[in-house]
Amino acid sequence: MIAMLKEDLLFIYFFLSICFIDIVFRLSTINTFSYTDIVISFYFLAAYMVAIYLICSFFQGTARLLLSSFLFIAVIFIYVSQLIYFQFFRTFYSMYSLGKSAQVFEFWKDVVQYLLNHLIVAILLLFPIIIFIVFGKKMFPLNKISWVKRGVFIFLFFLCYLAGIVSVYASGDEQNTAYDLYFNNSSTLLSVEHLGLLTSMRIDFQRLVTHWSPDVKAPVISEPEPNPIEQQPAEELPEKQQEEKVVEYNVLDIDFSKLISEENDQAIQDMHKYFANIQPTKKNDYTGKFKGYNLILLTAEGFSPAAIDKNVTPTLYKLANEGYQFTNFYTPIWQVSTSDGEYVALQGLIPKSGVWSFQESSKNHLPFVLGNQLQKRNYSTRAYHNHTYTYYGRNTSHPNLGYDYKALGKGLNVKETWPESDLEMMEKTVPEYIADEPFHTYYMTVSGHMQYSFTGNYMSWKNKKFVEDLPYSDQAKAYLAAQLELDRALEHLLAELEKAGIAERTLIALSADHYPYGLDDQTIDELAGHPVERNFELYKNTFILYTKGIKPEVITKPASSLDILPTLSNLLGLDYDSRLLMGKDIFSDADPLVLFLNKSFITDKGMYNAETRTFTANTGEQIDKDYIKYISSIVEAKFYYSTEILETDYYRKIE
């Protein structure tokens, strides 16, 4: 028995090592230890280690040692790289992103600094492979393995894998269970929690190769009841009713019935049916309020309410308090960080998990994005980014939005620092369009980017003197100093608009790409002045909508960055179809819906946490389970059809 155990010591070492690494990884990232999750994860880990052992069994001596070391290092690399990625972006990279990882080397200094700051964690993760490489030849028998023994391990592989699958089924098919994440859902963050890192990456790879999309049953949404005023000739109505305003909707003349009858592809036919049955939003008192105005739209890197301070960032304070004030606005985080944040705000769609949705959309027909819409109305349309021109594939995605796109490395000559200056970008670009009315200009800023320190962030160092006397930690001060560069950029913009005499007819809209996840949790709490709730409040943000002379107005309706495109389209009086976007015009009477990556949501009735499956009502009243189920089905449908729009180039099919 002892001899048999010694012969299989290599497998035992593999398995115990990977369990140890997995536990260290969990503690350092998601920090959760559900018994069920651990059991499922370890069943699959055992299967993977058996597979590695079997592969190595066909080699002997030094060859087996080298192959074992190579495979072991590959597995550990996955854990270490995902750990570093998580610390930067608060999520895990997909296999798609791994194939485009070259741009990560721009952050190599931050990576080195992180490893130095977390040296103990790095050593713990690397410890098993170091021991194996140094002592492997002496510790483990590397002699020939019989086919009988291989047969036993093949049986063990299927046994472990089957046990994992059975455990997955036993978790139930509710939203965000192990079963849901294994077969239906595509949230990498939750998948790592419930299934383990290696299983999550295996599933992600399978889905990438097979172009997988989740199956979903869309909720049945009835067409709005016809307005009786619209159905009768005006001359047959009483005089009073003739004076009443006819209800109009933000829809285009799309003959879905004809499209359905002529479509042979069942998936596309289902999409036609789904969108035909979505209730469109009504035009309202805000429709066309800023028609013909110039539009400057900004996605601000790492922006948050903490960046708004009357004394430190007076311009941001002015814009946030003298325009429309959205007090219940959220900027959910998605899996591809800034790029997904841009995608949501600019396209009004939910990003597809596992890919860079914005870059994937670069060949699609995008009739509803503001650049293409306003270009049709003879606007000059430009976009700028003060970091690398090709980063996240913006060199292909942004021209497809209808913009003449310039960035560092092509067309925009700003000083190459890390990060670069928003103020310098504004100074060099405003002269290009300010006399070219009507204009629409889009900015993706970068000055607010992490890391937030006075040694690793040039903008923080540059503006240190303006924040050094604040009663905050150094990281909090560094964050505010970085955002101060955005404030100065906006100050310059307002001054130039005023000088040109067009401030009263230029609408400025600004939102964040994501919350500042580069801040430590305690720093986020420090800037907020209280412990921040992590499922909803963490993503609460500010949407700035301002033009000179506007009457300040408070909007308490729940909204998110998904609603920006339809809201601006309505305000500018553009022709768009509200059924074909996933967000809604905030000023419409449509029921609000804010949804998050983990399928949690906020409505006018309260908040539903999809991870804990609890609903917190605004009034404390009991909410019917059917209501939660119904809204959850709408959320699922929005995720699904957003993916289908991207994958099928759907807008081109209904043009």
pLDDT of 88 reads 78
Quote the CA–CA distance of 85 and 549 in Å, as a whole number: 44
Which among 391, 451, 458 is positioned nearest to 419, based on CA atoms?
A: 458
Poorest-pLDDT segment among 109-118, 271-280, 347-356: 109-118
| Contact of 295 with 572, CB cutoff 8 Å | yes
pLDDT of 103 reads 63
321 Cβ contact partners less than 8 Å away, ≥ 6 residues apart: 552
Give the predicted TM-score (pTM) of the model: 0.89
Give tens-digit pLDDT for 168-213.
999 998 888 999 999 987 778 889 999 999 999 999 888 888 877 6
Average pLDDT, integer, range 567-571: 98
In this structure, the strands spanning 540-541 and 294-300 are: unpaired
Give tens-digit pLDDT for 297-352.
999 999 999 999 999 999 999 999 999 999 999 999 999 989 999 999 999 999 99
**The pair of three-digit structure tokens given for residue 167, joined into one six-digit string:** 């455990």
Name which residue leads in pLDDT, 208 or 557. Answer: 557
Confidence tier at 547 by pLDDT (50, 70, 90): very high
Q: What is the DSSP letter of 442?
A: E
Residue 95 scores a pLDDT above 90: no
Name which residue leads in pLDDT, 130 or 231. Answer: 130
Confidence tier at 633 by pLDDT (50, 70, 90): very high
**The pair of three-digit structure tokens given for residue 385, joined into one six-digit string:** 């980014």
pLDDT of 102 reads 57
Confidence tier at 216 by pLDDT (50, 70, 90): low
Quote the CA–CA distance of 106 and 102 in Å, as a whole number: 8
pLDDT of 137 reads 80
Which among 454, 550, 467 is positioned nearest to 509, based on CA atoms?
A: 550
> Biggest alpha carbon distance in the chain?
101
pLDDT of 6 reads 54
Residue 77 scores a pLDDT above 80: yes
Residue 423 scores a pLDDT above 90: yes
Average pLDDT, integer, range 536-559: 97
Question: Within a 10 A sphere around the Cβ of 589, how many other Cβ atoms?
Answer: 10
pLDDT of 228 reads 35
Length of the chain counted residue by residue: 655
Quote the CA–CA distance of 567 and 382 in Å, as a whole number: 20
Poorest-pLDDT segment among 176-190, 359-373, 536-550: 176-190
Name which residue leads in pLDDT, 32 or 258. Answer: 258
pLDDT of 224 reads 37
Residue 548 scores a pLDDT above 90: yes
Confidence tier at 222 by pLDDT (50, 70, 90): very low
**The pair of three-digit structure tokens given for residue 652, joined into one six-digit string:** 């081109």
Average per-residue pLDDT for the chain: 90
Residue 632 scores a pLDDT above 80: yes
Average pLDDT, integer, range 355-369: 96
Percentage of residues in the chain having pLDDT higher than 70: 92
Percentage of residues in the chain having pLDDT higher than 90: 74
Poorest-pLDDT segment among 208-217, 373-382, 553-562, 564-573: 208-217
Q: What is the DSSP letter of 128?
A: H
Alpha helices in 362-404 (DSSP H): 370-376, 394-397
Q: How far apart are the first and last CA of the chain?
A: 72
pLDDT of 7 reads 59
Instruction: Classify 564 as helix, strand or coil.
Output: helix
Q: Which domains does the chain have, with CATH numbers?
A: 2-210 (no CATH), 270-653 (3.40.720.10)
